A and B are shown apart, each in its own frame.
Chain A
Amino acid sequence: MSTPTTLFEKVWADHVVVPETADTPAVIYIDLHIVHEVTTPQAFSVLREHGLPVRRPDLTLPTLDHSTPTTPVSTFKDLLVAGEGAADQVRQMERNCEEFGLDLLGYGSGRRGIVHVIGPELGATQPGKTIVCGDSHTSTHGAFGALAFGIGTTEVGHVLATQCLLQRKPKTLAVNLDGSLPHGVGAKDVILAVIGRIGVDGGTGHIIEYRGDAIRALGMEQRMTICNMSIEGGARAGMIAPDDVTFEYLHGRERAPRGAGWEAALARWKTLRTDDDAAFDRTVGIDASSLTPMVTFGTHPGMVVGIDEPVPHSDDASFRKALDYMQVEPGKPMSASAVDVVFVGSCTNGRISDIEEAANVLRGRKLADGVRMLVVPGSEMVKAEAETRGLDKIIVAAGAEWREAGCSMCIGMNGDIAQPGQLSVSTSNRNFEGRQCPGARTVLASPATAAASAVAGYVADPRKYTSQERNLTP
């Protein structure tokens, strides 16, 4: 009988080109390489210096997302709004794709969007694949049972040139979420609670597998939200074993297998699960039924509390520095904080169900005086779908801005930024100092909490704004 193995070990073993030794890392094959304008120019330059082609253009998926404006774009002149550097980077990406024979999902494609939104929605992200991108939130794709992680620009060059990477096999961490989530508590609250538990470095050197009833009960977009923030707990990758929810999501998508190919893929995908007796290097258990809506209070995603809970006390110097930056007092809940800006979007929460979750709170309501709210779809396809459902009208009627697809205020590279000192409730993934503008104070939260906060004018409990029967689309 063969040794029981984890989901991660199965996908890893399937992609070993050269096994690792004590002195050398493994050579691992990459099935899908997603590329964007910010972390690739220097990698294409290396190919050019060595006179090398892109080895597998068919396994390379390029798009534009990080430095693109979210105001309407019809000509490249408009790109200047984001600054000359950003415009250069976009033009450089277009030239690189043309020179190296890559099919860029750029302007006019109707398929452009955030790297971690378009991979899944096109059906390019599939169970059992190895997926990399020069972006740490590549962990998102693990929601499908893929092994997906972020890489640096030098490694982007390695994959472009060889379709392989040098990797040491990481350790495994099981995060078990049992029980059912209470009303008003969603995937974003789950992952913030997980990071609060394990800490921002708790997953360093590990791959997380999220398991348990509470995970099984989630739709694919919610699972993506969870895997997306694995890196905020220090883990390069997070995975969820594929099941019928995964297969139903993928069926019929543009780049998913079809016909006999679909049946063969399905048979293979169904084997991608952790064996009953397989061992993890570490295990953490969380009772999902005990969770509440979560908000961050500090300057990393591990500094997080329930919406009703007081901000904790600590004498640690780094902790106190974070609270000073945030202008937050220990002992008080975050709901005491006035809000200036609200951002709904990003690779964490920029999908159709996220936009809908925010719109359900905004429906028939108005933003509080003085609050600015940006709702930024994760892709052109998400934007079109939201408009088909009429969500854009609800958002605009509430007084929020409905923008073009992109990373936007999550990283603030494109001109979408908060102002110094402003408090921003954001559905993105990082509340680091200066992330949304030097001096801006970011509170991470779910789309429902973000929308409720926009309406209330202070950090607000979404349960007061949503009915028990609210629509939870997968």
Chain B
Amino acid sequence: MMQPVKKITSKTVVLPVKDIDTDQIVPARFLTTTSREGLGDKAFYDLRYDDEGNERPGFPLNRPEAAGCSILVAGNNFGCGSSREHAPWALLDYGFEAVVSTEIADIFRNNCLKNGLVPVVVDGTTHEWLLDNPGAELLIDVDTTTMTLPGGREIRFTLDSFGRYCLIEGLDQLGYLRNHLARIESYEQERAWKP
């Protein structure tokens, strides 16, 4: 069940690479699981570890200052490619609560909103500043869709109104859909053709 997410305060960890696809977020060979849990160990696996399973020291998540950071700032077009929901599951299980980019791919963004991982889309200037300043302490307020930068400057970010509502309420979207069952039944009976 999705937990409500209202405010996130954390330092950032920065992956300054464009077009990070969901295969990199969680490689396909780890998709043989039948559960949602325990994928945090697999997040960015091939970027975090070398062939022998040792940590790659240069990778931002492996640096000591990344410990405990729950805001991930990534290059443009984060989460493109495969529809695997294992990608947000892995990021959440790893400890991330928000991902920030100038653009977040459609299916990945939808999957984030279903699980309580906040997809934050910011303007190019703010994004560039965030990429240049890893470890910046941010406050992300989902309710007001604002991000407070160090020094107190507030910027607005883009978030669909329903997505925002689901995050702050921890809304079960299946329950919401099932509230429309009577209308679904009428649609099925009244439509002009049947599939």
**A residues near B, CB below 8 A?**
14, 17-18, 22-25, 27, 29, 31-32, 38-39, 41-42, 45-46, 50, 59, 66-67, 83, 85-86, 88-89, 92, 126, 129, 134-136, 150-155, 157-158, 161-164, 166, 168, 170, 200-201, 204-205, 231-232, 234, 236, 264-265, 268, 300, 302, 316-318, 321, 411-413, 420, 430, 432-435, 438-439
A438 to B188 Cα, complex, angstroms = 47
Would you call B106 an interface residue if the criterion is a C-beta within 8 Å of the partner chain's C-beta atoms? yes
When distances are taken between beta carbons in the complex, the residues of chain A under 8 Å from B34 are 41-42, 45, 88-89, 92
Q: With A317-B16, A433-B24, A434-B24 as given contacts, are A151 and B107 in contact (CB-CB < 8 Å)?
A: yes
Cβ proximity bits B105-130 to A, threshold 8 Å, 1 near / 0 not: 11100110011000000000000000
B97 contacts the other chain (Cβ, under 8 Å)?
A: no
Verify B105–A433 contact, CB threshold 8 A.
no
A201 touching B29 in the complex, CB below 8 Å, given contacts A152-B83, A435-B23:
no
A29 B19 Cβ-Cβ under 8 A: no
- Please report the C-alpha to C-alpha distance between residue A157 and residue B115 in the assembled complex, in whole angstroms: 13
Determine if A201 and B19 form an interchain contact, defined as CB atoms under 8 angstroms apart.
Answer: yes
Question: Taking the nearest CB of chain B, how far is it from the CB of A122, in angstroms?
Answer: 14
Chain A's closest residue to B23 (CB) is A432
* A-B contact list, 26 entries, CB within 8 Å: A31-B195, A41-B33, A59-B195, A88-B32, A126-B195, A151-B107, A151-B110, A152-B85, A152-B107, A152-B110, A153-B85, A158-B177, A161-B174, A161-B177, A161-B178, A162-B178, A166-B173, A168-B160, A200-B80, A204-B77, A234-B77, A317-B16, A412-B28, A413-B31, A432-B24, A433-B23
A438 to B180, Cβ gap below 8 A? no
Q: What string of 1s and 0s marks CB contacts (under 8 Å) between B139-170 and chain A?
A: 00000000000000000000011100100000
Contact for A154 among B105, B111, B162, B176, CB less than 8 A: B111
CB <8 Å contact, B28 and A413: yes
Interfacial residues, chain B to chain A (CB-CB below 8 A)? 16-19, 21, 23-24, 27-29, 31-36, 46, 51, 75-77, 80-85, 103, 105-107, 110-111, 114-115, 160-162, 165, 173-174, 176-178, 180-181, 183-184, 187-188, 191, 193, 195
Contact at B77–A158, with CB atoms within 8 Å? no
Q: Is the CB of A154 within 8 A of B173?
A: yes
Nearest opposing residue in chain A for B84, CB measure: A39
* Known contacts A135-B83, A161-B174; is-contact A204 B106 (Cβ 8 Å): yes
Residues on the A chain within 8 Å of B18, using CB: 316, 318
Contacts of B165 in A (CB 8 A): 23
Cα A14 to Cα B18 in complex, Å, equals 38
- Check A204–B184 contact: CB distance below 8 A: no
Q: Closest chain A residue to B49 by CB distance?
A: A438
Are B114's CB and A432's CB within 8 A? Answer: no
Residues on A with beta carbons closer than 8 Å to the beta carbon of B46: 433-434, 438
Residue of A nearest to B181 (CB): A162
A155 to B33, CA, bound (A): 18
CB pair B184 A162 closer than 8 Å: yes
Beta-carbon nearest neighbor of B164 in chain A: A23
Contact of B107 with A32 in the complex, beta carbons under 8 Å? no
**Closest chain B residue, CB of each to CB of A411:** B28
> Is A154 within 8 A of B77, CB to CB?
no
What residues of chain B lie closer than 8 Å to A434, measured between beta carbons? 23-24, 27, 46
Q: How far, in angstroms, from A158 to B35 measured CA to CA in the complex?
A: 17
B115 to chain A, nearest CB (A): 7
C-alpha spacing A411/B9, complex, angstroms: 37
How long is the Cα–Cα vector from A27 to B33 in the complex, in angstroms? 30
Shortest distance from the beta carbon of A29 to any chain B beta carbon, whole Å: 6
Q: Report chain A residues within 8 Å CB of B178.
A: 161-162
A420 CA to B178 CA, complexed, in Å? 48
- Give Cα A424 to B83, complex, Å: 23
Residues in B whose Cβ lies below 8 Å from that of A317: 16-17
- What is the CA–CA distance of A42 and B35 in the complex, to the nearest angstrom? 6
Contact, CB under 8 Å: A18 / B80 = no
* A412 to B32 alpha-carbon distance, docked (Å): 12
Alpha-carbon distance between A162 and B31 when the two chains are bound, in angstroms: 26
Complex CA gap A21/B187 in Å reads 19
| Distance between Cα atoms of A107 and B76 in the complex (Å) | 42
Q: Collect the chain A residues with CB atoms within 8 Å of residue B75's CB.
A: 318
Find the A residue at minimum CB distance from B88: A152
> CA–CA, A282 to B53, complex, Å?
46
> Within the assembled complex, what's the spacing in Å between the Cα atoms of A232 and B77?
12
Q: How far is the CB of B139 from chain A (nearest CB, A)?
A: 25
Q: Which of A136, A157, A302 contacts B83 (CB 8 A)?
A: A136
Across-interface contacts of A150 in B (CB, < 8 A): 83, 107
- Decide: A413 and B77 in contact? CB cutoff 8 A: no
B contact residues around A231 at 8 Å (CB): 81, 107
CA distance in complex: A154, B85 (Å):
8
Could you tell me the distance in whole angstroms from the C-beta of A95 to the nearest C-beta in chain B? 10
Contact B180 A164 (CB under 8 A): yes
* Cα–Cα distance between A161 and B180 once the two chains are bound (Å): 12
Q: Is the CB of A129 within 8 A of B83?
A: no
Q: A92-B34, A152-B114 are in contact. Are A164 and B105 (CB under 8 A)?
A: no
Tell me, rounded to whole Å, the shortest Cβ–Cβ distance linking B119 to chain A: 12
CA distance A14 to B187 in the complex (A): 10
A317 to B105, CA, bound (A): 21
**Contact assessment for B28 and A420 in the assembled complex, using a CB-CB cutoff below 8 Å:** no
By Cβ-Cβ distance, the 3 closest A-B pairs, closest first, are: A85-B32, A31-B195, A41-B34
CA distance A67 to B28 in the complex (A): 10
In whole angstroms, what is the CA distance A264 to B193 when docked? 9
Cβ of A17 and Cβ of B173 under 8 Å apart? no
Shortest distance in angstroms between A155's beta carbon and chain B's nearest beta carbon? 7
Whole-angstrom distance between the Cβ of B191 and the nearest chain A Cβ: 8
B111 touches A152 (CB 8 A): yes
How far apart are the CA atoms of A13 and B28 in the complex, in Å?
36
